[in-house]
Amino acid sequence: MKTIICNLPAWLKVFLYFVLLTAARFVADAVPALNDLSFYMAVSLLISWLLLWAEGKTLKTLKFIPVCSSNWLQLLCGTVGGILMLIVTAMITVYLTGDQWHFNSSPDIIFLLMCFLANLWSVFVQEFAFRGYPFQTLNSHYGAWKAQLIIAIPFGLMHVNSTMDMQTILMAMLTTGLGSVLFGMAYLYTRNLALPIGLHVGWNYAQALIPRTAGAAGRTIITVDGDPKYYSSLYIIGPYLGVVLCTMAVLWLLKQRMRISTVPLTSSPQSI
């Protein structure tokens, strides 16, 4: 069995990975007690372990747990960066829509903490499931951008549900697909999942507390007052696209700078 799995092409291993993960989704739908992030994490962990075992590797090669100070710093910087991304996006959106906003005068500290922990766990599972074995395997065999485009599809589909109309589905696929590419770039820059987890959790956590449009329910720290029926799609999607693309540009520039800094400064006599 080990030899058979090992000899499968990389694309087929990733395809089987997502087939099994999708099957787990149907099982969870049929058995409500299993419909929990812990179940999906366990399934992803088991499939990843099996495929890596067949390749003579261990789960440590996926680098999904911070193990040194630089990893923890990347996680922290990513979290702060993700929060700032959402704040800038919200500020631009509110400016364009002309809505009014004000602070919640009595935020629930316990809720803020529990919200962060819930988002951290959710993001950790998502990043492991998508930018763990599948993304890293595709990247090592077919290159970064093929891996990015392939993983963006199931990552986007994960955010789609049966209640959405076609326009909403396309919007969700676009926005989450770009998010997937951003998190993939964060992995490619650091070669571990700390930075993408940080960016992802920072954005999601801030998004839960700082609405960009009126009508958001829940215990947010900011309340936005306005009439959504007057919103333009450009006012909603434009700021998001701009902020995400700018962040991508920053990661790309950092990657280029890192490449330049690793070029040897000495040259052989023949190359002068």
**Dihedrals φ, ψ of 225, to 5°?**
-110, 125
On the question of pLDDT at 126 being above 80, the answer is yes
DSSP state of 248: H
| Average pLDDT of span 163-188 | 94
- CA 182, CA 160: separation in Å to the nearest integer? 19
Write the DSSP assignment of 111-172 as a string of letters.
Answer: HHHHHHHHHHHHHHHHHHHHHTHHHHHHHHHH-HHHHHHHHHHHHHHTT--TT--HHHHHHH
CB 32 within 8 A of CB 120: no
CB 62 within 8 A of CB 132: yes
Radius of gyration (C-alpha) of the chain in whole angstroms = 21
- Average confidence score pLDDT of the chain: 91
134-167 CB burial, b ≥16 within 10 A, e <16: bbbbbbeeeebeebbebbbebbbebbeeeeeeee
| Per-residue model confidence as pLDDT tens digits over 218-262 | 678 888 888 777 788 888 899 999 999 999 999 999 988 887 876
On the question of pLDDT at 21 being above 50, the answer is yes
Q: Which ranges of the chain would DSSP assign to H, the alpha helix?
A: 2-6, 10-30, 37-54, 69-97, 109-131, 133-142, 144-157, 166-190, 194-209, 233-261
The pair of structure tokens assigned to 228 is 């959504």
Q: What is the pLDDT of residue 267?
A: 45
| Per-residue model confidence as pLDDT tens digits over 51-82 | 999 999 999 999 999 999 999 999 999 999 99
Q: What is the pLDDT of residue 258?
A: 82
Bin 19: left if φ > 0, else alpha if -120 < ψ < 50, else beta: alpha
pTM: 0.91
Give the Å distances, CA to CA, from 209 to 91, 106, 217, 257.
14, 13, 10, 35
Q: What is the pLDDT of residue 78?
A: 97
Half-sphere exposure in the Cβ direction for 218 (13 Å, CA): 13
Local confidence band at 207 (pLDDT 50, 70, 90 cut-offs): very high
Question: For the ranges 38-47, 152-161, 256-265, which has the lowest average pLDDT?
Answer: 256-265
The domain locations on the chain are: 1-62, 64-261
Q: What is the pLDDT of residue 259?
A: 79
| Per-residue model confidence as pLDDT tens digits over 133-142 | 999 999 999 9
Name the nearest CA neighbour of 102 among 223, 228, 213: 223
CB 155 within 8 A of CB 176: yes
